[in-house]
Structure 1
Amino acid sequence: MSALASVVPSLALLQLGGLLSQPLGQALAVIVGVGIVVLVGRIALKIAWRLVTIAALVVGGLLVLSFFGINLLG
């Protein structure tokens, strides 16, 4: 009985392979892939925007301090 239970999921994957061989199945796979790339890209850009904002604030603060004659970089 356990051997049959381990075969059933692999049969389901074989059926999916048939679906992905059709043009609509391939289109769905491409759309899902693009969606994953966009999701990962959104997360990466969210982190990148935070880093750029922090860097701009630090450099702006150093610039303001340099106007008053305070040089922290050397």
Structure 2
Amino acid sequence: MSSPLASTAALVPMQLGGLLAQPLGQALAVIVAVAIVVLVGRIALKVAWRLVTIAAVVVGALLVLSFFGINVL
């Protein structure tokens, strides 16, 4: 016995009538895929930028401490 959600999900492509068979449908699919990649990339770069900033501050602090003769490592 299948759930109503699964049967509805199976019917959606049939109801669209080959939307991706048309050039405009394919272009829309590509644009949506690129938008998803850009969105994920922005989130990943936001996290990466924060990590690089934190690393630069930590290394800078260690450098300043080493100027005063305090060896942390």
Tell whether the structures are fold-level matches, with TM greater than 0.5: yes
TM-score scaled by length of structure 2: 0.82
Given the superposition, is the C-alpha separation of residues 71 and 26 from structure 1 closer, same or farther in structure 2, using an over 3 Å criterion? same
Matched residue, 1:3: none
1:35 pairs with 2:35: yes
TM-score scaled by length of structure 1: 0.81
CA RMSD of aligned residues (A): 2.0
Given the superposition, is the C-alpha separation of residues 17 and 32 from structure 1 closer, same or farther in structure 2, using an over 3 Å criterion? farther
**Structure 1: 5+ residue runs without aligned partners?**
1-5
Given the superposition, is the C-alpha separation of residues 7 and 71 from structure 1 closer, same or farther in structure 2, using an over 3 Å criterion? closer
Question: What is the distance in 2 between the residues matched to 1:38 and 1:8?
Answer: 30
**Structure 2: 5+ residue runs without aligned partners?**
1-5
